[in-house]
């Protein structure tokens, strides 16, 4: 028997059932450049080179306030805290799975004192050494049979006469080992390991998304502040114009219509400022909450106007095939698929018999002084075989369930890849076209400023009316507002592109896969 047990132990782990994970097919073109990057107009802005691994890509903007906001958020964001807690749970589950298929050993000790009822049935009588015996001279009962009678009364293997009292002492070890003959425990460990990797990638995905959102929200705040500065300058100019118009009206050089138009311009411009102030405050409050702080924590820091950082005019894209390595959400979906594949192997292994080795050893005596004598030793060793015969189809249903979960995980992987490619394409076209829009807005602003200078010169010479000057100034401020909005849009587009490309973390090495044959 011992030889059989040893042979089975040596075979443990020699057979692992179920499929091995293989590199999934994303079903998208990976060798050609991005569609929007192939546009000749984008050739000078979107570069084919590898974007590289830039964990802190936002530092390219050289804005210390933004750096501080992002550092605070990466340390205190509650979504990141939740993801880290889930990672700790996944690691604990991996430890639990690692214990499956390993021997378990426990120690025990027991001391009992027992009296036999004078009116009951005597203990013993059915053991291999005969029935109960008279107590010895030390007042302890003699050892009886270790048989049905002895075990039946209170679990004691000793016997005695009615009314007798005796003690029993025992220390020992119990061990159990379920041999992983078909790889069920190994598949569980592999699945748990893949889920730990997926949880690590989930943390990276949140970090990447968070950095992109922070830069975009920060850009919106600075854009609103720039537009607010334009609106206030416009308001001051409109008030001066209204004052001049009233003086001219008193001097008979302007009409009531001119005064009404000037006053209406003041009211219209003043009405735009509160909406921009709301954007600044709400943006600051959102950044504070993203940092895990109360909404008003960053108002003092962010309400102070500061020029918006200038976005780089170019961006390196790399090839679509590199996106599968760089995007943490794609890598996370791939590891979830691997875990589901390992689960299939565990379910298949459960269809086969299980073999368990049980053993116990220790010392047992009726007197403490002789407990550790060699003659007090006992041991047992057994092997148990459990083969499933009828379970109503539960195990095979579990296998079918696990295979369907693999199909779902594969579909989710492909969906994640497509969504990632869409993110890049959307960011590319926005980054490219918004730069064209910004260039036109800046050129328009330059022309509007020139038109204001000409209108003022002609107004002093009496060649144009005051209404024409007001129109030129209004057009200039509208162009300045549009240019500020365009600058903010380009910065937000650049941040969205960095996020879409998977910036903000260092991709780990890709896992090795079993080749298909």
Is the confidence at residue 153, as pLDDT, over 50? no
Rounded mean pLDDT of 277-291? Answer: 96
387-404 per-position pLDDT tens digit: 999 999 999 999 999 999
Domain that holds residue 262: 20-100+183-351+396-500
For 135-185, list the strands marked E by DSSP. Answer: 165-179
> Residue 118 falls within a domain, yes or no?
no
DSSP-based three-state secondary structure for 155: coil
How many whole angstroms separate alpha carbon 328 and alpha carbon 201?
5
For the chain, give the mean pLDDT: 86
> Domain of 269: which CATH number?
1.20.1600.10
Is the confidence at residue 166, as pLDDT, over 90? no
Q: Judge contact between 322 and 143, C-beta under 8 A.
A: no
> Residue 149 falls within a domain, yes or no?
no
> Residue 138 falls within a domain, yes or no?
no
> Residue 231 falls within a domain, yes or no?
yes
Predicted confidence at residue 3, as pLDDT, reads 60
Q: Judge contact between 135 and 201, C-beta under 8 A.
A: no
> Residue 11 falls within a domain, yes or no?
no
> Residue 178 falls within a domain, yes or no?
no
Q: Tokens 């340390």, residue?
A: 75
DSSP 252-277: TSS-HHHHHHHHHHHHHHHHHHHHHH
**pLDDT grade, residue 148 (50/70/90)?**
very low
Q: What are phi and psi of 315, to 5 degrees?
A: -150, 135
Rounded mean pLDDT of 477-489? Answer: 94
Predicted confidence at residue 120, as pLDDT, reads 73
pTM recorded for the entire structure = 0.83
Return the closest-CA partner of residue 157 out of 361, 374, 364, 375: 364
Predicted confidence at residue 252, as pLDDT, reads 86
Predicted confidence at residue 122, as pLDDT, reads 62
333-354 per-position pLDDT tens digit: 999 999 999 999 999 999 999 9
> Residue 207 falls within a domain, yes or no?
yes
215-247 per-position pLDDT tens digit: 999 999 999 999 999 999 989 988 988 898 898
> Residue 71 falls within a domain, yes or no?
yes
CA 162 → CA 116, 135, 159, 169, 366, distances in Å? 5, 11, 10, 21, 18
When divided into structural domains, the chain yields a total of: 1
């Amino acid at each position: 028997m011992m030889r059989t047990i040893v042979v089975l132990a040596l075979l443990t782990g020699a057979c692992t059932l179920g499929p091995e994970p293989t590199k999934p097919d994303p079903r998208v073109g990976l060798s050609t450049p991005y569609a929007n990057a192939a546009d000749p107009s984008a050739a000078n802005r979107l570069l084919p080179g590898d974007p590289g691994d830039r964990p802190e890509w936002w530092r390219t903007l050289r804005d210390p306030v933004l750096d501080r906001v992002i550092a605070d958020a990466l340390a205190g964001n509650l979504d990141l805290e939740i993801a880290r807690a889930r990672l700790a749970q996944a690691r604990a589950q991996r430890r639990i799975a690692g214990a499956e298929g390993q021997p378990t050993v426990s120690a025990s000790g027991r001391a009992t004192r027992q009296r036999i009822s004078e009116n009951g049935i005597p203990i013993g009588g059915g053991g291999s050494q005969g029935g109960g015996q008279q107590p010895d001279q030390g007042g302890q009962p003699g050892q009886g049979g270790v048989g049905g009678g002895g075990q039946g009364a209170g679990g004691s293997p000793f016997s005695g006469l009615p009314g007798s009292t005796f003690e029993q002492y025992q220390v020992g070890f119990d061990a159990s080992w379920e041999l992983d003959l078909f790889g069920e425990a190994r598949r569980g460990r592999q699945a748990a390991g893949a889920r730990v990797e997926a949880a690590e990638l989930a943390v990276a995905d949140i970090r990447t998304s968070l950095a992109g959102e922070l830069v975009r929200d920060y850009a919106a705040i600075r854009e609103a502040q720039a537009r607010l500065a334009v609106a206030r300058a416009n308001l001051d100019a409109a008030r001066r114009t209204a004052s001049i118009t009233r003086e001219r009206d008193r001097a008979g050089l302007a009409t009531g219509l001119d005064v009404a138009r000037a006053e209406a311009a003041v009211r219209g411009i003043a009405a735009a400022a509160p909406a921009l102030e709301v954007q600044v405050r709400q943006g600051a409050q959102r950044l504070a909450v993203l940092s895990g702080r109360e909404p008003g924590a960053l108002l003092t820091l962010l309400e102070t106007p500061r020029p918006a950082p200038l976005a780089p005019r170019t961006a390196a894209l790399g090839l679509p095939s590199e996106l599968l390595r760089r995007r943490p959400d794609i890598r996370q979906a791939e590891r979830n698929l691997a875990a589901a594949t390992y689960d299939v192997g565990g379910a298949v292994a459960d269809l086969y018999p299980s073999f368990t080795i049980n053993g116990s050893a220790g010392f047992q005596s009726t007197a403490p002084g002789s407990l550790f004598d060699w003659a007090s030793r006992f041991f047992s060793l057994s092997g148990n075989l459990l083969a499933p015969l009828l379970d109503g189809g539960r195990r095979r249903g579990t296998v079918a369930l696990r295979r369907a979960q693999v199909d779902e995980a594969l579909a989710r992987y492909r969906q994640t890849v497509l969504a990632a490619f869409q993110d890049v394409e959307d960011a590319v076209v926005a980054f490219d076209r918004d730069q064209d829009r910004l260039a036109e807005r800046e050129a328009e602003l330059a022309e509007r400023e020139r038109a204001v200078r000409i209108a003022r010169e002609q107004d002093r010479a009496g060649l144009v009316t005051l209404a024409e000057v007001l129109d030129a100034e209004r057009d200039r401020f509208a162009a300045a507002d549009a240019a500020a909005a365009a600058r903010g849009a380009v910065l937000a587009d650049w941040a969205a592109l960095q996020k879409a490309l998977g910036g903000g973390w260092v991709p780990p090495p890709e896992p090795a896969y079993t080749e298909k044959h």
